[in-house]
Amino acid sequence: MRRRRRLCSLASAALFAALPGGCGLPDTPYFGHVLEVKEPRHLRYCNQGEPEELDPTMATTSVAVRLVHQMFDGLVVYDLDGKPVPGLASGFTTSADLRTFTFTLRDQARWSSGRALDAYDVGYQVMRVLHPTTASGNASNTPTIKGASGFTARRLAVLTRAVGPYAAGQVVELDAIEGRELADWKSASARPSPSGRKASAALRLRDLGAAAADAYAEVPPGGAVEVVAESGSNVMPPAADGQPWSYVFWGQGEGVYGWVPRAELDVRPWDGARFTVRRVTLRETPGAVQVSADELAADELAARPLVEVAGRDLALATEVLGVRVLDRRTIVFENAYPTPYFPHLAANRALRPTPIEAVSRRPRRWATPAHIVTSGPMHLSVWEERDRVELVRSPTYWNPGEVKLDKLTAYSLDDAAAAANTYYAGRCDAVATNQLPGSYLPALRGEQRGGRAYLDFHVRPFLSTYFVLLNTDKLRNRHLRRALNFAIDRTRIPRFTHGGEHPTAQVTPGAAISTLSAADRALCGLPPAPTAPPAPTAPGAGQACQLGRARRGHDHGAGRAVLRRAAGARP
């Protein structure tokens, strides 16, 4: 029932509709017209607009993510109660300190190409979403994984030989390059990089272990590439021939990735560059899992001396990440801090595997009907921009009995009122939007017909935060910006939007985990003991997890005081 419920909730929990222009309210139980159903296994819904991407790594809007989640399965998915349940993974285990999570993948998982989907596909996805050459807007969706932010910023490396007090294999953070601190460089891509390579002969990019004759791209002699990962590493499989291979990125045009024998990368431009490094803390060291809280705290205060090394002594490697593929069915995630909500992160689009063979050939254009390879219950068949996206039932999905649809059509309608009118006329079965004009909502709730709400109008909690961005170039005085913040009475906004929003002055709704009662912790699916740090909030399914006692931030007195400080104060 898991997948069916998740898919059907798209059609039920999001049935919003608005008044058709110039028409009266229908005096029927349902707002939308029910026409003759010719295709009962075809769901048509009005999406909020045009999806910007259908690649899980690049999609960031709810318009795109609704479709992405139907085409790409996650290690875990959500049931109708908002609880994470097994998806691609048949199950997972959690360490006692809530920092290490081990997932076991299903034997039946398949890509739409027919290839088995395994733990290396998950490892590749973690590397891909975090690697700077990808430039994914979802890289910040996995903040708890060891080394995640440092890997994206090209700030972490692995020593390839012992240097000073540090052994070979030690993960280090870069402090300076050629005597200049990292912040003094224009950008991370402008700095000398130990992963930069060239070749004296042409490089033929191909699949791991494939013959040169099967290459799909060729880098000319002297062309610059970047080593992204190595065969047999923590996230990549070994080559069948037992030889070391490198997975590289060539930035020509739209860019292309591919494997080459490591020996062919015989020119290393930055071997002689000088890097100043120090070891990372135990908390951020992959593999340091059997470490007590006291040992971690003591290590935070311990000395971490700076040493100078040459570029040849460093590798910007995936081993800096807290991710390990143990075998083709098992993958381990290590988090720097106790992360009881990691199963929710595992359901995020950022960790939904993508196929390396499809992505490598055309990184920016693989998620199209002609080239896409999927793993979910539905598969992309049509994408007519500014018109519609059509998905069809996937014949390779691991759990076919739970898929109740043969086809899903999402119409790309930007205007919420137009989408609602389309639903009213019976031309779509659902409206997937939480942005209806507020003036329509009282009528849908039945306020104009004796309190009889329409049966196809549903209101469900939705985790979303609306906020105002201020241009700091024009409002450089921080005291003035704070005064504006205090001046806004957030409690009055829902009176005009009519959407049941809850006013808050914090970006993340919910109560701090450390403040929850034992009953609320159980409701949120958390262990009874407060083992997590006090800062994160509980994003689970209960009322306490979703709302909590949020600060509202409205205080005219405080605003006036700050405004007085703003007058004549330095920005």
CB 544 within 8 A of CB 524: yes
Least confident of 49-53, 238-242, 385-389, 423-427: 423-427
CB 411 within 8 A of CB 433: no
Q: How confident is the model at residue 278 (pLDDT cuts 50, 70, 90)?
A: very high
Higher pLDDT, 34 or 466: 466
Going by their DSSP bridges, the two strands 42-47 and 407-412 should be labelled as parallel
| pLDDT above 50: residue 53 | yes
462: in domain = no
237: in domain = yes
pLDDT, one tens digit per residue, over 318-327 is: 999 999 999 9
Average pLDDT (154-174) is 97
- What is the pLDDT at residue 24? 66
Give burial (CB, 10 Å; 0-12/13-18/19+) of 75.
buried
Q: How confident is the model at residue 22 (pLDDT cuts 50, 70, 90)?
A: very low
| pLDDT above 90: residue 140 | yes
Query: Three-class SS of residue 504?
Result: coil
Q: How confident is the model at residue 511 (pLDDT cuts 50, 70, 90)?
A: low
Q: How confident is the model at residue 546 (pLDDT cuts 50, 70, 90)?
A: very low
| pLDDT above 70: residue 58 | yes
| pLDDT above 50: residue 188 | yes
pTM: 0.82
CB 386 within 8 A of CB 412: yes
Average pLDDT (27-38) is 82
- What is the pLDDT at residue 476? 85
| Amino acid making up residue 196 | G
545: in domain = yes
- What is the pLDDT at residue 196? 97
Higher pLDDT, 55 or 567: 55
CB 461 within 8 A of CB 546: yes
- What is the pLDDT at residue 2? 32
Average pLDDT (180-203) is 94
Q: 538: domain range? A: 478-566
- Give me the percent of the chain exceeding a pLDDT of 90: 63
Residue tagged 């704070």 (tokens): 482
Average pLDDT (286-296) is 92
Higher pLDDT, 508 or 564: 564
| pLDDT above 60: residue 469 | yes
Going by their DSSP bridges, the two strands 156-159 and 314-315 should be labelled as antiparallel
Least confident of 1-5, 78-82, 115-119, 502-506: 1-5
Q: How confident is the model at residue 528 (pLDDT cuts 50, 70, 90)?
A: low
H/E element, 156: strand 156-159
Least confident of 263-267, 378-382, 493-497: 493-497
| pLDDT above 90: residue 14 | no
- Spatial separation of the C-alpha atoms in residues 35 and 57, rounded to whole Å: 38
| pLDDT above 80: residue 145 | yes
- What is the pLDDT at residue 448? 82
Nearest to 509 by CA among 552, 458, 460: 552
Higher pLDDT, 549 or 146: 146
Average pLDDT (101-122) is 98
Of the candidates 235, 264, 293, which is a domain's last residue?
264
CB 390 within 8 A of CB 82: no
Backbone angles phi, psi at 203, to 5 degrees: -105, 125
499: in domain = yes
The DSSP symbol for 20 reads P
Residue tagged 């972490």 (tokens): 156
Least confident of 13-22, 213-222, 249-258, 517-526: 13-22
Higher pLDDT, 159 or 438: 159
| pLDDT above 50: residue 215 | yes
- What is the pLDDT at residue 533? 38
- Spatial separation of the C-alpha atoms in residues 61 and 138, rounded to whole Å: 11
| pLDDT above 80: residue 435 | no
CB 208 within 8 A of CB 262: no
Name the CA radius of gyration of the chain, rounded: 26
- Spatial separation of the C-alpha atoms in residues 277 and 174, rounded to whole Å: 5
- Spatial separation of the C-alpha atoms in residues 157 and 309, rounded to whole Å: 12
Least confident of 57-61, 273-277, 326-330, 413-417: 413-417
- What is the pLDDT at residue 440? 77
550: in domain = yes
| pLDDT above 50: residue 525 | yes
| pLDDT above 50: residue 532 | no
Q: How confident is the model at residue 449 (pLDDT cuts 50, 70, 90)?
A: confident
Q: How confident is the model at residue 11 (pLDDT cuts 50, 70, 90)?
A: very low
Q: How confident is the model at residue 249 (pLDDT cuts 50, 70, 90)?
A: very high
- Spatial separation of the C-alpha atoms in residues 558 and 560, rounded to whole Å: 5
- Give me the percent of the chain exceeding a pLDDT of 70: 86
Give burial (CB, 10 Å; 0-12/13-18/19+) of 379.
buried
One DSSP character per residue, 333-365 reads EEBSS--TTHHHHHTSGGGS---HHHHHH-TTT
| pLDDT above 60: residue 184 | yes
Residue tagged 């081993």 (tokens): 319
- Spatial separation of the C-alpha atoms in residues 182 and 175, rounded to whole Å: 6
Contacts of 118 (CB under 8 A, 6+ apart): 105, 109, 328, 329
249: in domain = yes
CB 256 within 8 A of CB 205: yes
556: in domain = yes
Taking each continuous run of H as one helix and of E as one strand, the counts in the chain are: 14, 23
Please report which residue ranges of 131-244 form alpha helices under DSSP H: 148-152
Of the candidates 264, 286, 308, which is a domain's last residue?
264
Count how many domains the chain has.
2
Average pLDDT (181-201) is 93
Tell me the HSE value of 323 on the side-chain side, using a 13 A CA sphere.
27
Of the candidates 264, 291, 312, which is a domain's last residue?
264
pLDDT, one tens digit per residue, over 375-430 is: 999 999 999 999 999 999 999 999 999 999 999 999 999 888 888 888 888 899 98
- What is the pLDDT at residue 570? 52
Per-chain mean pLDDT for the chain: 87
- What is the pLDDT at residue 25? 76
Task: Break the chain down into helix, strand, coil percent, rounded to 5.
Answer: 25, 20, 55
Average pLDDT (26-34) is 84
245: in domain = yes
Average pLDDT (158-185) is 96
Q: How confident is the model at residue 7 (pLDDT cuts 50, 70, 90)?
A: very low
pLDDT, one tens digit per residue, over 62-76 is: 999 999 999 999 999
Residue tagged 């009055």 (tokens): 492
